[in-house]
């Protein structure tokens, strides 16, 4: 197992720049996720780690050793792609065994024993003689995982491995991947566009946007303290408000937005804000409470989505969209809600 270090990795294609100076460290044995919308550079970052894409600038190091010039087949990485990418002319067992042509199986096992062990691990015992096209999508992806793990890679790279599967299967398989990763302790980089999935499985995650890294942190840090407006609105739902600082009262800033003055906790943000500065802060829909005693403002209610157990309501205040979470569908046209200054995060 190794740790991974990306230093100033830049990638330019013919005209477009895909990555803009990305620096990241992934600890040994960590489950690290790259999350962001399509085109943000997360897959290019993963391919750079794998050696499938050569960076224009910058270096990739495994355990402190620069591997930028090591070709993909010598990097000892295991990759699982969204499209499964099984070798269609080989059986399941032959697929899993393929990497063992180039590396000896670990712990003195024979290749056959290693294949059986891995099919056991991914919960497909005895399926070795099947052809790939006889398997369901979920089963094919387990075979792809077993194949990637067979040569005991230093790094496991997963590129949107579950995007082609349906929602329920996806949740089941991601628990399984997490279990296997934990058992093996293999350093893992996981790419997904699904922020919920990223929060659910990661030890730490990097939120990427426009070829750069916006924020790196644990799921709780990223959710509770988004560093940028992009992170605030990409990870979970959020209401983002901006206005001018009009005063400071101990730990609280007074911010004028529209015809209201909101009080928000100052110590939740990094920067020091002076009177007259423009600030942006965000409040999660779950923190906008009809019973809240402070920071109250009226919201004109619009479309309602009943989600079972909770209800999402799209409303409007001061010409901007405000999202609310209510216990049940409202029967009124407008509501006044408030929030605790501690629940606002200044960006």
Partner 1 sequence: MSALRDRADAVALPAVAAVTLLVLTVLFYYPVGRVLSEAVWREGSLTAEPLLAVLRDPFFFGVLAQATEDPSVLWTAIAPHTLRLSLPFVDAGVAVTYPFPNYRLGLFGFTAYQALLSTVASVVLGLPGAYVLARFEFPGRETVRSLTAVPFVLPSIMVAIGFIATFGRNGVLNDVLTALGLPQVELLYTLPIIVLAHAFYNAPLVARVTATAWESVDAGVAETARSLGASPRRAFLDVLLPQLLPAILTGALLTFVFSFMSFAIVLALGGLSLATVEVWVYQRVSQLDYETASSLATLEMLFSLALTYAYLRYEARQRAERAARPPARKRLFGRLNADRLAVWGYVAVVAVVFVTPIASMVLASVSGPSGLTLEHYRFLIERQATGADFQIKPLTAIRNSLLYGAGSLAIAVPMGVLLAVVSTRDVPGSKLVDTLSMAPFAVSGVVVGLGLLQGLVFGTEVLGYRITVAGGVAVVAAHAVGAYPFVTRNVAPLLATIDRSVVESARTLGASRLRVLLDIELPQVFAGVVAGAAFAFAISIGEFDSTVILATGSSAYTMPVAIERFIGRRLGPATAMGCVLLVVTAVSFLVIDRLGDGRGM
Which residues are 119's β-sheet partners? none
Residue 24 or 100 with smaller CB distance to partner 1: 100
Give the number of residues in contact with partner 1, rule: CB under 8 A: 31
Q: How far apart are CA 304 and CA 306, in angstroms?
A: 6
Name residue, tokens 């609280």: 252
Segment lying near partner 1 (by CB under 8 A), choices 101-109, 113-121, 240-248, 292-300: 101-109
**Contact between 86 and partner 1 per CB under 8 A:** yes
SS (H, E, C) the chain: CCCEEEEEEEEECCCCEEEEEEEEEECCCCEEEEECCCCCCHHHHHHHHHCCCCCCEEEEEECCEECCCCCHHHCCEEEECCCCCCCCCCCHHHHHHHHHHCCCCHHHCCHHHHHHHHHHHCCCCCCCCCCHHHCCHHHHHHHHHHHHHCCCCCEEEEECCCCCCCHHHHHHHHHHHHHHHHHHCCEEEEEECCHHHHHHHCCEEEEEECCEEEEEECHHHHHHCCCCHHHHHHCCCCEEEEEEEEEEECCEEEEEECCEEEEEEHHHCCCCCCCCCEEEEEECHHHCECCCCCCCEEEEEEEEEECCCCEEEEEEECCEEEEEEECCCCCCCEEEEECCHHHEEEC
Smallest distance, Å, CB 96 to partner 1?
10
Smallest distance, Å, CB 138 to partner 1?
18
**Contact between 109 and partner 1 per CB under 8 A:** no
The sign of the torsion formed by the CA atoms of 8, 13, 18, 24 equals: negative
**Contact between 250 and partner 1 per CB under 8 A:** no
Residue 95 or 238 with smaller CB distance to partner 1: 95
Q: How far apart are CA 290 and CA 21, in angstroms?
A: 45
Chain centroid offset of residue 13 CA: 24
Smallest distance, Å, CB 75 to partner 1?
8
Residue 24 or 150 with smaller CB distance to partner 1: 150
Segment lying near partner 1 (by CB under 8 A), choices 1-9, 96-104, 185-193, 199-207: 96-104
Contacting partner 1 within 124-163 (CB under 8 A): 144, 147-148, 150-151, 157
Binds partner 1 by CB under 8 A, chosen from 36, 55, 78, 226: 78
**Contact between 85 and partner 1 per CB under 8 A:** yes
**Contact between 106 and partner 1 per CB under 8 A:** no
**Contact between 22 and partner 1 per CB under 8 A:** no
Residue 69 or 259 with smaller CB distance to partner 1: 69
**Contact between 311 and partner 1 per CB under 8 A:** no
Smallest distance, Å, CB 22 to partner 1?
21
Return phi, psi of residue 230, to 5°: -60, -45
Residues 35-74, mask of contacts with partner 1 (x by CB under 8 A): ---------------xxx------------------xxxx
Segment lying near partner 1 (by CB under 8 A), choices 57-65, 77-85, 227-235, 270-278: 77-85
Smallest distance, Å, CB 193 to partner 1?
17
Contacting partner 1 within 191-230 (CB under 8 A): none
Residue 156 or 337 with smaller CB distance to partner 1: 156
Residues near partner 1, by CB under 8 A: 50-52, 71-79, 81-83, 85-89, 98-99, 101-103, 144, 147-148, 150-151, 157
């Amino acid at each position: 197992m190794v740790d991974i270090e990306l230093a100033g990795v830049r990638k330019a294609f013919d005209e477009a720049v895909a990555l803009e100076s990305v620096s990241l460290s992934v600890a040994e044995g960590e489950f690290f996720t790259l999350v962001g919308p399509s085109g943000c550079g997360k897959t290019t970052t993963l391919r750079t780690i794998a050696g499938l894409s050569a960076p224009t600038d910058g270096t990739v190091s495994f355990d402190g050793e620069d591997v930028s010039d090591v070709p993909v087949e010598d990097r000892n990485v295991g990759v699982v792609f969204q499209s499964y990418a099984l070798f269609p002319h080989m059986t399941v067992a032959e697929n899993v065994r393929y990497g063992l042509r180039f590396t000896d199986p670990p712990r003195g096992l024979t290749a056959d024993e290693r294949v059986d062990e891995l099919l056991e691990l991914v919960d497909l015992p005895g399926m070795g003689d099947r052809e790939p096209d006889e398997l369901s999508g979920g089963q094919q992806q387990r075979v792809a995982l077993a194949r990637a793990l067979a040569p005991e890679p230093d790094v496991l790279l997963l590129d949107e491995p579950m995007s082609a599967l349906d929602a329920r299967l996806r949740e089941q398989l991601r628990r399984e991947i997490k279990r296997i990763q934990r058992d093996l302790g293999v350093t893992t980089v996981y790419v997904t566009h699904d922020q919920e999935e990223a929060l659910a499985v990661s030890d730490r995650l990097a939120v990427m946007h426009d070829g750069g890294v916006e924020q790196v942190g644990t799921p709780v840090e990223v959710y509770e303290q988004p560093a940028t407006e992009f992170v605030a609105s990409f990870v979970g739902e959020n209401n983002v408000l901006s206005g001018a600082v009009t005063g400071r009262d101990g730990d609280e800033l007074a911010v004028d937005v529209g015809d209201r003055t909101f009080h928000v906790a100052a110590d939740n943000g990094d920067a020091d804000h002076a009177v007259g500065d423009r600030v942006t802060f965000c409040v999660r829909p779950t923190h906008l409470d009809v019973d809240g005693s402070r920071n109250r403002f009226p919201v004109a209610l619009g479309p309602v989505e009943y989600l079972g157990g909770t209800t999402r309501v799209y409303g409007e205040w001061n010409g901007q969209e405000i999202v609310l979470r209510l216990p049940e569908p409202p029967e009124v046209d407008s509501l006044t809600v408030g929030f605790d200054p501690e629940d606002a995060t200044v960006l």
